[in-house]
A and B are shown apart, each in its own frame.
Chain A
Amino acid sequence: MNPLLKAEDLVSYIGLYTILQGVSVEIHQGEAVALLGRNGAGKTTFLRTIMGLVNTRSGSIKLDGESIVGKPTYEIAKMGIGYVPEDYGVFDELTIEENLKIAMWKEDKPTLEKRDYVLDLFPDLKVAYKRLAKTLSGGQRQMLSISRALVNENKIILIDEPSKGLAPVVIERLALALKEISKSTTILLVEQNFALACAVAERYYMIDEGKTVDEGTIKELIEDTELQRKHLGVI
């Protein structure tokens, strides 16, 4: 089966600095894959490169067999890649309702059903539906950001460190929600929180110094404490 998203020997740069120096990742339809690595390993840059927000020097990225390198960000998004950035990326001066409406490309029945699905998944958003995004807690903003990526028929969702800055109890709720989402959506999850990554993903890729250094199933990683210590600093 052809992979849904395939990045091969990806090299990307910001200004004078080459950040990714050979990242290769394959994600198949329906999978939940975690991208792991220490701080500064290049995980966020990888997601931003996929979205066309960081320049690619060489290598390829294909979605459903079609190259997306060099395409503008809006076209990549329209091709079916939902992006949940690490700073949530919500519009602070708009309400939850307006944030969701902007994310919806259409207001047809399937899209409205998806909106209702995310509001059921995150009841906090339903309660605060008319509130400005800037008045929400970090957890609620994260829920809103994920919801925006879910309201369209996206083929894959890229989620960047959803647990960042959140309280443990909120992370637990988020893990449950992401697990639920992964049943119907393909996910590429960048995460520092090992427990959350293990709760959501089935496979992982390890990135270090801008290169893919390891891959396997999450089960294997859980059993290999030496690898966890080496790449993630998990003791």
Chain B
Amino acid sequence: MKLLNNMDKKTFLALGVLLVVLSIIPHFSKLSTITLISRIFILAVYGMSYDILRGYTGFINLGHALFFGSGAYIAGIFFTNFGNNLVVFGMAVIVTVVFCSLAAYIMGKIVLRGGGVIAAAMITLALGEIVRNIAERWRSVTMGADGLPFKIPDVFRDRIGFYYYALIFLIIMTVVLRQFILSPTGRVLMAIRENEQRAEFLGYETSKYKLIGLQVAGIASGLAGIMFGILNRFANTDLLSVQQTLNALLITLVGGTGTLYGAIVGSAFVNAVQNYLLNLRSVHPIFERWLLFFGAMYVIVVLFMPEGFVGLWNKYMKERRTKKNTKAIEKGL
């Protein structure tokens, strides 16, 4: 209820319309479009999980894919070994939550000892690569570099049905992560992002809060990984790679770092562009190298639009509100 109370009528109406549009899309779309949008929903959660770290604590984690890939692998390993039903799915979710929470805790304890942002980025990069290497060499469980194909529960087999599950997943995770950001812990994370030392002299043990942020981000990323694994019915070591982490970075950058919802816009934009470029393969083989275009996009966004789409929108709205408030104060005086 608090969530609804905080929303103005226009936002509520816009969200309602968006929800109706998203609900009817599968009935008028091709299967490939439905799969693409499901992918957008899942990667939006993955992007939001990265935004909790990058956008709200200023922490650069180059090993973030560790959680995402682990989620996909845990789902795959469980479905392969214990059967493809909903009970096993529930077990996979619980194990992913516990694993990601523990992995984030260990990562945090190593990284948050000090040394600055660059050291943290390098250490997380190394930790991510260690896990990727383990997955690659542990062939008996993960099938190594070949990847792990797996069967999924019947309930997830229908693409249209899964589209709705992905949408529900996105809505639930958005609400949960938003509430986390608005909580007292989230406020402290915002303070840390702005100036860690100032947060400390207000009495906050900043490393403890960063660790909480890392765990929440890790769990959200792991859950997104499960959904991604189910969508593809496949997990491979690419999901644990730096490239996968950079995807999250690009999604949050394009959408707007530190905005949370930006990741949804970023995911839609990045995945739609990627899909469009891949479809142009028949026009010219250069479009197979879509990463080249993404590199260029990354540079353009960093140079000319560092706030991202939602960041720019928020900035515009904040300035408008501030002008309005200032006018009201001047009138009052």
List residues of A whose CB falls within 8 A of some B CB.
51, 53, 72-75, 77-78, 83, 85, 89-94, 98, 101-103, 105, 127-128, 130-132, 135, 148, 152
Contact = CB atoms under 8 A, between A and B. Distances in A.
Nearest to A83: B201
20 contacts: A53-B201, A72-B200, A74-B205, A77-B201, A77-B202, A77-B203, A78-B203, A89-B198, A89-B201, A91-B190, A91-B194, A91-B195, A94-B194, A98-B187, A102-B187, A102-B191, A102-B202, A103-B202, A131-B322, A135-B322
Contacts, number: 63
B54 to A, nearest CB: 15
Contacts of B326: 135
Nearest to A80: B203
Given A74-B205, A89-B195, A101-B187, A128 B325 contact: yes
Contacts of B187: 94, 98, 101-102
Given A77-B200, A131-B322, 18 more contacts: A53-B197, A73-B197, A74-B201, A74-B203, A74-B205, A75-B205, A89-B198, A90-B198, A91-B194, A94-B187, A94-B190, A94-B191, A102-B199, A127-B329, A128-B329, A132-B318, A135-B326, A152-B203
CB-CB nearest 3 A-B residue pairs: A77-B203, A73-B200, A78-B203
A72 B190 contact: no
Given A74-B200, A131-B325, A102 B205 contact: no
B201 A51 contact: yes
B204 interface: yes
A135 B315 CA distance: 13
Task: Tell me what chain B mostly uses at the interface: helix, strand, loop, or mixed.
Answer: helix
B204 A74 contact: yes
Contacts of B285: none
B194 A93 contact: yes
A83 B197 CA distance: 12
Residue of B195, B200, B203, B318 most packed against chain A (CB within 10 A): B203
Nearest to B332: A127
A104 to B, nearest CB: 9
Contacts of B201: 51, 53, 73-74, 77, 83, 85, 89
Nearest to A130: B325
Contacts of A75: 205
Contact of B203 (A53, A94, A105): A105
B131 interface: no
Nearest to A73: B200
A89 B197 CA distance: 9
Interface in B183-214: 184, 187-188, 190-191, 194-195, 197-206
B307 to A, nearest CB: 12
Contact of B198 (A91, A98, A130, A132): A91
Nearest to B205: A74
Interface string B308-332: 0000000000100010011001001
Contacts of B191: 91, 94, 102
Contacts of B184: 101
Nearest to A48: B201
Contact of A72 (B188, B195, B199, B205): B205
